[in-house]
Chain A
Amino acid sequence: MNGISRRGLMKSGVAAGVLGLTGMPLRAAATRGGKFTAGLSGANTSDSWDSRTHSDLFMIASCHGSVFDCLTEVAADGSLQGELAESWEASPDAKTWTFNLRTGVTFHNGKAFGADDVIESLQMHIGEDSKSAAKPIVEAITEMKKVSDSQVQFTLAAGNADFPYLMSDYHICMYPAGQIEEAIANGIGTGLYSVVSFKPGERMVAKRVDDHYKGDSAGFFDEIEYIAINDNNARMTALMTGQVDAINRIDFKTEALLKANPALRIQEVAGNQHYTFPMLTNSAPYNDVNVRRAIKYGVNRQEMVDKILQGHGTVGNDSPIGHANPYFNDEMEQLAYDPDKSKFYLKQAGLDSLDIDLSASNAAFEGAVDAAQLMQSSMSAGGINVNVIQEPADGYWSNVWLKKPFCASYWSGRATEDWMFATAYEAGVPWNDSQWDGDDSARFQELLLTARAELDSDKRREQYFEMQQILRDDGGVLIPMFANNVQAVNNRIHSPEKVGAVWQMDNARMSERWSVA
């Protein structure tokens, strides 16, 4: 792998783990046994086994990744496979979905898993005062029917070809019907590992379940321990001194020290997380597509990747669809930094120069203020004078985002195109942060609905490619960069060559896929 530069590797879309120069042989088969200790960030003292409240890695890796299961699962290569559902089929209009459940599965307390559990687990998200992040997904189901103990049928309000994908959401874990409160209190799922001890915001220990339905093909450790280490430095030191086997989110400032340690390797995966600058397209001057284009050409994207992400990312093309998505449009021409084009589009808008305010805070993403300042200097060459307003980090999401006409933001990305679009680009959804639903978005909104119900993969590809092109040319969100997921692992732990890119740490499923080397 020496001969390939990181960027080259990412461009080719391989999204593979970059191995250290240790020459450790990759083995085909994983062996059972041993203990795995990971130091993970994103833990809180308010954490619980309630998957509706999860939003960060520690609980996602513990709950969705180890102790609980979903109906479906996104494999490391981005394809969808069954987890508690064995198979599924759709009606031709993608409105009715029938899931065949795995039989002989039991929860950690011995209760058998069946259709009732599925229905009750989904209903958790739609109570009137539900604050679940998966509420919109479940609300789209108009009817849930138990066909038999091992078969459920869902009827959707509108066709959705991605519905099985949505069932892999880490919020939608399967709980035992009638014992949900108990299951949330003690962590009783159907996952590969059962809880030994759990201290919110401190640590989670779990042991491998004997006779699990996934058999010998997954879950290779006897015991796993996740330690909550939110502090960057403490996490790096814990890995360097061998107290943990793996950490997420390495600190780029001390990356060289990790690289110099022959016992460790760095995994770098091009993910879907992207940093954005939404413009409110229903307010002047951003309601003019030419102004938006002038801004798009005025940003030096490569400089931002180099300086803000320190090279650990790829340039964005103003589309939120990343390398880890199934229909990523890799044929689009990359938007380049071109002050002349900036000036040209300003002229088209009838302007000689443009003064705009850009609101940023590091609450949006680490380095957002620096990124705004880089934009300020690069855009001035194209005749756009940017006034950077540094907003307070506290209350940023409620006071600035969706309110200020041009601000910094981020998205962690979604596993499918429709999911991402439905979250932040569909007309009328609350998080449409560019308010892009006017006449000039008509074609995009139309394609969004057609593609959603389209079961034919080739047609969908065409539709999604066109949508990404529309966003690149006319959309209201500037997306200068995609961040890589960068994590580090001790060489005593083996991880498969292909590492999941949808979430950090192999889609948070390292306890399932990794093993002792």
Chain B
Amino acid sequence: MGNVLSIVFQRLALGLLTLLVVSIVIFVAVNMLPGDFAELILGQGATPESVAKIRTDLGLDQSLVSRYFGWLGGMLTGDLGTSFAQLNFQTNLGGGGGVTVGEQIAPRFANTMFLASVTAMIAVPIAVTLGILAALYRNTVFDRAANILTLSSISSPEFFMAYVLILFLAVLNPILPSLSNIYEGMDFSDRLQKTLLPALTLTLVVTAHMMRMTRAAIINLLASPYIEMARLKGMSPMRVIVKHALPNALAPIINVIALNLAYLVTGVVVVEVVFVYPGIGQLFVDSVKIRDIPVVQACCLIFAAAYILLNLTADILSILSNPRLRHPK
């Protein structure tokens, strides 16, 4: 077990380093985009004086390096800062407490997590079951059909899958709402109903990867001698796969599931925009549009952290699922 713990610490330290690098890259990249917050928020009405005024108010007139370290300093003390839009608004009001980035992101992040969980709840069982069945009936019509369906859904762009689902489930057969504008105080069943279409879209997008990996990992093992032994014992094919092949195939499957779960958090931008789902992806798009760096930074760090943590979880789970790694000589 000590081995696992040391891996966790090592990986967490590396993860922190990655986050630092990500924050630098994002900061520089956003600053390299033409136009800054002051120019974009004023639009056609940008006069040199008003642009200069907003820049001084927000500290945009300081150098890149000092702005970055200012932000980093706040970050390390747990202060994500205040979004430019909020700061600008406060100076309009003449001071007064506003909403911080953390408070702005929290409800959006919760919504995205809700969407990701609903999707995972649907996608993971379907993908794993389909993968096992495809391995069991490999090279049959069922296997081919499952492969073609999942591969074509992963190959189409997300917005296209979204519109196909809207066409069939919202326009032609009005079963589900095309608008997923969930809000606080909605009861759970309404919330679930509104979330279903984006969740189904994401399911279509992530299923193929997980299913193909399950199938491949199991088929890979079916040639091993111990599987042959099991078969010779007279076990049914289903039992051979579930009891003997699956436990040994878990490590790669868990890895892929974790990767796809990370995608559910970080890759939902397009789906959220199409369905008007108030998640972190929409907030991210809005913030990039107006170069609201504190919000963009915070969103990116959340995305990066989600990736790092889920990858770490995947590694740990695959170690735990493999006795050889659990008890090294």
Which A residues fall within an 8 A CB radius of B?
Answer: 39, 44-46, 48, 50, 52-53, 55, 127, 129-133, 181, 184, 197, 199, 201-203, 227-229, 231, 233-234, 237-238, 240-244, 392, 394-395, 397-399, 401, 409-410, 430-431
Q: Give the secondary structure class of A's interface.
A: loop
Stretch at the interface among B33-41, B70-78, B145-153, B212-220: B33-41
Q: Are B89 and A237 in contact (CB under 8 A)?
A: no
- In the complex, whether B171 has a CB less than 8 A from a CB of chain A is yes
Give the Cβ gap from B158 to chain A, nearest Cβ, in Å. 13
Q: Are B178 and A53 in contact (CB under 8 A)?
A: no
- Contact A237 to B290, CB < 8 A, known contacts A131-B53, A131-B54, A228-B276: no
| CB<8 Å pairs between A and B, sample of 8 | A44-B85, A45-B287, A50-B92, A131-B50, A133-B45, A197-B184, A203-B183, A398-B51
The contact of A46 among B53, B89, B273, B282, by CB within 8 Å, is B89
List of B residues within 8 angstroms of A401 by Cβ: 44
Q: Are B177 and A243 in contact (CB under 8 A)?
A: yes
List of A residues within 8 angstroms of B39 by Cβ: 395, 397-398
List of B residues within 8 angstroms of A129 by Cβ: 53, 57, 91
Q: Are A197 and B179 in contact (CB under 8 A)?
A: no
Q: Are A234 and B51 in contact (CB under 8 A)?
A: no
The contact of A45 among B275, B276, B283, by CB within 8 Å, is B283
- In the complex, whether B170 has a CB less than 8 A from a CB of chain A is yes
List of B residues within 8 angstroms of A181 by Cβ: 93, 96
List of A residues within 8 angstroms of B290 by Cβ: 44, 46
Closest A-chain residue to B49, C-beta based?
A430
- In the complex, whether B94 has a CB less than 8 A from a CB of chain A is yes
Q: Are A227 and B276 in contact (CB under 8 A)?
A: yes
Q: Apart from A202-B183, A233-B274, A237-B166, what are 19 other A-B pairs with CB-CB below 8 Å?
A: A45-B287, A50-B89, A133-B45, A181-B96, A199-B184, A203-B181, A227-B181, A234-B274, A234-B276, A238-B178, A238-B179, A238-B276, A241-B171, A241-B177, A242-B174, A395-B35, A397-B44, A398-B46, A398-B51
Closest A-chain residue to B286, C-beta based?
A45
List of A residues within 8 angstroms of B273 by Cβ: 231, 234
Within B281-313, the residues touching A (CB, 8 Å) are 282-283, 286-287, 290, 292
| A231-B92 Cα distance, complex, nearest whole Å | 29
The contact of B171 among A133, A227, A231, A240, by CB within 8 Å, is A240
Contact with A along B57-71 (1 / 0, CB 8 A): 100000000000000
Give the Cβ gap from B232 to chain A, nearest Cβ, in Å. 58
Give the Cβ gap from B286 to chain A, nearest Cβ, in Å. 5
- Contact A48 to B89, CB < 8 A, known contacts A231-B276, A244-B179, A397-B43: yes
Contact with A along B95-124 (1 / 0, CB 8 A): 010000000100000000000000000000
| A237-B180 Cα distance, complex, nearest whole Å | 12
Closest A-chain residue to B44, C-beta based?
A397
- In the complex, whether B163 has a CB less than 8 A from a CB of chain A is yes
Q: Are B35 and A45 in contact (CB under 8 A)?
A: no
Closest B-chain residue to A132, C-beta based?
B92
- In the complex, whether B83 has a CB less than 8 A from a CB of chain A is yes
Q: Are B34 and A392 in contact (CB under 8 A)?
A: yes
List of B residues within 8 angstroms of A46 by Cβ: 41, 83, 85-86, 88-89, 286, 290, 292
Contact with A along B186-204 (1 / 0, CB 8 A): 0000000000000000000
| A52-B42 Cα distance, complex, nearest whole Å | 12
Q: Are B46 and A197 in contact (CB under 8 A)?
A: no
Closest A-chain residue to B275, C-beta based?
A234
Q: Are B92 and A199 in contact (CB under 8 A)?
A: no
Q: Which of A46, A227, A394 gathers the greatest number of chain B CB atoms within 10 Å?
A: A46
Give the Cβ gap from B290 to chain A, nearest Cβ, in Å. 7
Closest B-chain residue to A231, C-beta based?
B273
In the complex, number of A-B residue pairs with CB atoms less than 8 Å apart: 122
Give the Cβ gap from B185 to chain A, nearest Cβ, in Å. 8
List of A residues within 8 angstroms of B43 by Cβ: 55, 397
List of A residues within 8 angstroms of B131 by Cβ: none
The 9 closest A-B pairs by CB, nearest first: A46-B85, A395-B35, A394-B34, A394-B35, A395-B34, A398-B39, A237-B178, A238-B179, A243-B179
- Contact A234 to B179, CB < 8 A, known contacts A45-B283, A131-B92: yes
| A386-B241 Cα distance, complex, nearest whole Å | 71
Q: Are A199 and B183 in contact (CB under 8 A)?
A: yes
Q: Which of B54, B91, B179, B275 gathers the greatest number of chain A CB atoms within 10 Å?
A: B179
Give the Cβ gap from A118 to chain B, nearest Cβ, in Å. 20
| A129-B93 Cα distance, complex, nearest whole Å | 10
List of A residues within 8 angstroms of B286 by Cβ: 44-46, 201
Q: Which of A50, A199, A398 gathers the greatest number of chain B CB atoms within 10 Å?
A: A398
- In the complex, whether B31 has a CB less than 8 A from a CB of chain A is no
| A397-B40 Cα distance, complex, nearest whole Å | 8
The contact of A53 among B40, B92, B174, B276, by CB within 8 Å, is B92
Give the Cβ gap from A104 to chain B, nearest Cβ, in Å. 30
List of B residues within 8 angstroms of A238 by Cβ: 178-179, 276
The contact of B178 among A228, A234, A410, by CB within 8 Å, is A234
| A157-B178 Cα distance, complex, nearest whole Å | 54
List of A residues within 8 angstroms of B44 by Cβ: 397, 401, 409-410, 431
| A52-B88 Cα distance, complex, nearest whole Å | 12
| A39-B179 Cα distance, complex, nearest whole Å | 10
- In the complex, whether B47 has a CB less than 8 A from a CB of chain A is yes
Q: Are A243 and B92 in contact (CB under 8 A)?
A: no
Q: Are B163 and A227 in contact (CB under 8 A)?
A: no
| A452-B18 Cα distance, complex, nearest whole Å | 63
List of A residues within 8 angstroms of B88 by Cβ: 46, 131
List of A residues within 8 angstroms of B174 by Cβ: 241-242
Give the Cβ gap from B83 to chain A, nearest Cβ, in Å. 7
The contact of A397 among B46, B83, B177, by CB within 8 Å, is B46
The contact of A50 among B51, B93, B183, B278, by CB within 8 Å, is B93
Closest B-chain residue to A243, C-beta based?
B179
Within B5-59, the residues touching A (CB, 8 Å) are 33-35, 39-47, 50-51, 53-54, 57
Q: Which of B91, B282, B290 gathers the greatest number of chain A CB atoms within 10 Å?
A: B282
Q: Are B94 and A199 in contact (CB under 8 A)?
A: no
List of B residues within 8 angstroms of A231 by Cβ: 273-274, 276
| A226-B54 Cα distance, complex, nearest whole Å | 30
| A362-B39 Cα distance, complex, nearest whole Å | 17
| A516-B206 Cα distance, complex, nearest whole Å | 44
Within B200-233, the residues touching A (CB, 8 Å) are none
| A53-B92 Cα distance, complex, nearest whole Å | 9
- Contact A127 to B183, CB < 8 A, known contacts A398-B35, A401-B44: no
Q: Are A52 and B34 in contact (CB under 8 A)?
A: no
Q: Are A394 and B86 in contact (CB under 8 A)?
A: no
Give the Cβ gap from A135 to chain B, nearest Cβ, in Å. 9
| A197-B171 Cα distance, complex, nearest whole Å | 29
Closest A-chain residue to B194, C-beta based?
A243
Within B125-151, the residues touching A (CB, 8 Å) are none
The contact of B163 among A197, A233, A240, A397, by CB within 8 Å, is A233
Give the Cβ gap from A55 to chain B, nearest Cβ, in Å. 7
Closest B-chain residue to A43, C-beta based?
B286
